[in-house]
Amino acid sequence: MSVRNVIIVGSGPAGLTAAIYASRANLEPLLIEGYQSGGQLMLTSEVENFPGFRGGIMGPELMGEMRAQAARFGTEIITADATKVDLEGPIKKVWVDDDLYEGHTVIISTGAKAKLLGLENEGRLMGRGVSTCATCDGFFFGGKDIAVIGGGDSAMEEANFLTRFANKVYLVHRRDEFRASPIMVDRAKANPKIEFVVNTVVEDVLGEDAVTGMALYNRVTEERSEIAVEGFFVAIGHKPTTALFAGQIDMKDNGYIITSPNKHQQTATNIPGVYACGDVQDDHYRQAITAAGSGCQAALDAQHYIEALEDAAEAAAAPA
């Protein structure tokens, strides 16, 4: 099989924007989109801050549009997870199980995933009341008391969203200061269905076959308590999906891929011809639009790398 110009791994806003740009540059990119394609916006409801949609757009609809746009210009899409990579040398190798794909460049856009608290019962009760996705699962908690854990924008947003369904939402945070923007905190505080439980850590989520409550510890009063809830939404941030690249691509201590903002190629990794874009290399902005923007940069960086390869090949072939 021929060596591809560009192999893109991951299909959130970053990967799909890279695919749109690379396919419009006639690079015929291969996109390995993953079984859970579309990234985190597939787990959101309405997106109000993506430019161009003044009335808002549903996250899955936005991703569907981006995917169709990438396909329209000739992106080849494989719906499977990349399982192994070998990125050293001029020809990069990406495996999907036993199938090997080779490329001159690879764009990594595998995004980030929701973090868990690491509680004893959290895994066992996942999908039985424990959730990391309010928009996916909120519907199941109509009229029930539930909890959201975290003090960032995600926790505020999810708590507010869940009041559409729930009778009451406890917002449990380990401190009494919030990482969330003041407007999001104010909105949650103004919501009569949300009760803030601060300076409090969750010791465990309770229940045999389904969530029935949570065991709490107040760090200030040093008191332990239990609150009955049927839903338990963890909203404490994300971790990058980078295990596939460990040992090959340079990463920060928190696992995010290091790109080179000071170089001419802003999405370059430590390996020539390998680029990273979107949340997998952004632990700061983490927005759909910034991910899309860096996807565009990665495609242009890959395009320039390929052009330089072609120039070098032409120069080598030219008569002396």
Using CB under 6 A as the binding rule, whether residue 113 contacts ligand NAP is answered as: no
Listed ranges 23-31, 52-60, 149-157, 185-193: which one lies at the site for ligand NAP (CB under 6 A): 149-157
- Considering only 75, 132, 154, 294, the residue that binds ligand NAP (CB under 6 A) is 154
Using CB under 6 A as the binding rule, whether residue 255 contacts ligand NAP is answered as: no
Listed ranges 17-25, 71-79, 95-103, 144-152: which one lies at the site for ligand NAP (CB under 6 A): 144-152
Q: Which of residues 84-103 bind ligand NAP (CB under 6 A)?
A: none
- Considering only 72, 84, 164, 175, the residue that binds ligand NAP (CB under 6 A) is 175
Cβ proximity to ligand NAP: between 158 and 301 the closer is 158
Cβ proximity to ligand NAP: between 213 and 273 the closer is 213
Using CB under 6 A as the binding rule, whether residue 252 contacts ligand NAP is answered as: no
Using CB under 6 A as the binding rule, whether residue 132 contacts ligand NAP is answered as: no
Q: DSSP labels for the chain?
A: -PPEEEEEE--SHHHHHHHHHHHHTT---EEE--SSTTGGGGG-SEE--STT-TT-EEHHHHHHHHHHHHHHTT-EEE-S---EEE--SSSEEEEETTEEEEEEEEEE---EEE-----TTTTTTBTTTEES-HHHHGGGGTT-EEEEE-SSHHHHHHHHHHTTT-SEEEEE-SSSS-SS-HHHHHHHHH-TTEEEE-SEEEEEEE-SSS--EEEEEETTT--EEEE--SEEEE-S-EEE--GGGTTTS-B-TTSPBP--TTSSSTTB-SSTTEEE-GGGG-SS---HHHHHHHHHHHHHHHHHHHHHHHHHHHHHHS--
Minimum separation from the CB atom of position 201 to ligand NAP (A) = 6
Contacts with ligand NAP, residue ranges (CB under 6 A): 117, 150-155, 157, 174-175, 179, 236-237, 286
